[in-house]
Amino acid sequence: MPKPRSSNHKAVNSFKWGEAVIYADNAATTRISDTAFEKMLPFLREQYGNASSPYSLGAKAKRAIEQAREQIAMAIGAETGEITFTSGGSEANSWLLQGISKLFSGESIHIITSSIEHHSVLNACHSLEAVGIEVTYLHVNTSGQVECEALKAAVRPNTKLVSIMLANNEIGTIQPIAEIGTYLRSKGILFHTDAVQAVGHIPLDVNELYVDFLSASAHKFNGAKGTGFLYKRASIKLPSLVFGGEQEHGERAGTENVAGIVAMGFALEENIAEMPETNERLSALVQSTIEGLQKAIPGIQINGDGVERLAGMVNITFPHASGEAMMLLLDLKGICVSTSSACNSGKDEPSHVLLALGLSEKQAKSSIRISYGKYNTPDEVEKIIIAITDAYTKIIANH
Ligand SMILES: *Cc1c(COP(=O)(O)O)cnc(C)c1O
């Protein structure tokens, strides 16, 4: 039974996370960090002013938003004026793609993306195709990388935008964004990267990546759900997706999620400070997961790239065992993993990312993704290996 809430918010520190649940699905979402949580609370209760209000309660909210903008700009090597807050990664991606189509309305334009993007990018591209915009979906190689040569070959005279994700949310493969960006900048083609899985997890700088746009989402880096941002290079203005007031330089209407924005700034700052140490630990957790499972279950296959990958993520195909069944058996033991991206689980469709790597439908459906975050421990990894081995044995026995 949860203890009754104390009116003193410090009491939240006594909440013990993870006693019942082992959470290994950090690519779907993350637990908010204690720092970010503490920092957001005053903006829900004491300083709940609307940032557009002229009196001092409003001004305090406005100042807090601008401080977060500075933290975030600093974290990715941008100017503060280049950061626009959104409700998350999906909105940032949708806004960018809809915005580009409006920017070039009346022209016959071509867009390039990859076949392994998040559905917020893929479905936005499908909506553009429906209004006559041409879209090329680049194939990836067997480790999940877009090849720069394939991209160059796909460029046409009317190519106006390329959108390639920085790190994939199902296999963790990191794309050669700087290489692609250098080429595109020389051609004068706009370049967007969906960096939702990368921001707060790997070092990055928008200038070193040569990107013009970058999307991110707070709940993927230990901030709160419902907040994200789009980085836009200073000289580029996009028509707003949301109609309303003049918030966010008139580019994104709607009352700001002040508490969420504040939490996002601190969550990102904290993750970046901890990053070298976190990633070293995550690599070790993934390494022992792979070694433990390889010992217990012969024939497992690790999907994605061995080197260019996120430290905490591993996607595994098991011989002749349904990933869905494994996920459900693990859930009974309080262990959270996933079969594909959270947005599509429950649809019983094989992952479009695994199919793009060349896996068969059956192999794709026999896969699970484990994604560790900064709160996971070696002890949890031991429990996960045992639970997966048990689940696998049970499924194979019933085959
Ligand atoms: C989670 C995710 C998104 C969507 O972000 P939301 O804030 O949940 O809308 C977009 N792209 C990638 C790669 C993601 O992992």
Nearest CA to ligand 1 atom 5: 89
Instruction: Give me the half-sphere count of Cα atoms (radius 13 Å) on the Cβ side of residue 202.
Output: 21
Looking at the fold, whether 109 and 210 belong to one and the same domain comes out as yes
What is the structure's pLDDT at 161? 98
Residues 248 and 314 in one domain: no
CA of 121 to the centre of ligand 1 (A): 9
Residues 225 and 344 in one domain: no
Decide if 144 contacts 116 (C-beta within 8 A): yes
Residues 253 and 285 in one domain: no
Does 4 reside within a domain? Answer: no
Q: Are residues 281 and 184 in the same domain?
A: no
CA distance 238 to 101: 10
pLDDT of residue 56: 96
Please give the chain's pLDDT, 399 residues, in tens: 444 444 444 434 444 554 579 999 999 999 999 999 999 999 999 999 999 999 999 999 999 999 999 999 999 999 999 999 999 999 999 999 999 999 999 899 999 999 999 999 999 999 999 999 999 999 999 999 999 999 999 999 999 999 999 999 999 999 999 999 999 999 999 999 999 999 999 999 999 999 999 999 999 999 999 999 999 999 899 999 999 999 999 999 999 999 999 999 999 999 999 999 999 999 999 999 999 999 999 999 999 999 999 999 999 999 999 999 999 999 999 999 999 645 555 567 899 999 999 999 999 999 999 999 999 999 999 999 999 999 999 999 987
Give bridge partners of residue 216 from the DSSP assignment. 229
How far does Cα 67 stand from its chain's mean position? 23
Judgement on whether residues 48 and 72 belong to the same structural domain of the protein = yes
| Residue-number span of the structural domain to which 346 is assigned | 22-30+275-397
Give a yes or no: residue 68 inside a domain: yes
Residue 16 belongs to some domain of the structure: no
What lines the ligand 1 site, CB under 6 Å?
Answer: 88-90, 118, 120, 165, 169, 194, 196-197, 217, 220, 228
The pTM assigned to this predicted structure is 0.94
Instruction: Give me the DSSP letters along 32-47.
Output: PPHHHHHHHTHHHHTS
Nearest residue CA, atom 3 of ligand 1?
89
Count of domains forming the chain: 2
- Judge residue 141's burial from the number of C-beta atoms within 10 Å of its C-beta, 0-12 exposed, 13-18 middle, 19 or more buried: middle
Give the catalytic positions in this structure: 343
Q: 260 and 302, same structural domain?
A: no
Do residue 75 and residue 202 come from a single domain?
Answer: yes
Strands 190-194 and 213-217, bridge-based pairing: parallel
> Of 219, 252, 269, which marks where a domain is finished?
269
Same domain for 98 and 182: yes
CATH of the domain at 73: 3.40.640.10
Residue 218 lies in a domain: yes
Q: Same domain for 216 and 286?
A: no
Task: Answer yes or no: is 348 within a domain.
Answer: yes
Per-residue confidence (pLDDT) for residue 6, from 0 to 100:
43
Ordered alpha helix ranges (H), 77-173: 89-103, 119-130, 148-154
| Angstrom distance (rounded) from CA 221 to CA 197 | 8
Please report whether residue 265 resides in a domain: yes
Decide if 14 is inside a domain. Answer: no
Rounded distance from Cα 97 to ligand 1 centre (Å): 15
Neighbours of 195 (CB within 10 A): 28
Which of 212, 246, 269 is the last residue in one of the domains?
Answer: 269
Tens digits of per-residue pLDDT, 146-188?
Answer: 999 999 999 999 999 999 999 999 999 999 999 999 999 999 9
Rounded to the nearest whole angstrom, what is the distance from the C-alpha of residue 92 to the centroid of ligand 1? 9
Inside any domain, residue 149: yes
CATH code of the domain in which 316 resides: 3.90.1150.10
Asked which of 226, 246, 269 is the last residue of a domain, the reply is 269
Contact by Cβ (8 Å): 296, 348:
no
| Residue 48 CA to ligand 1 centre (angstroms) | 27
Distance CA 363, CA 347 (A): 16
Same domain, 248 and 118: yes
Pair (381, 289) in one structural domain = yes
Q: What is the pLDDT of residues 40-77, one digit of tens each?
A: 999 999 999 999 999 999 999 999 999 999 999 999 99
CA-proximal residue: ligand 1, atom 8 (nearest) = 89
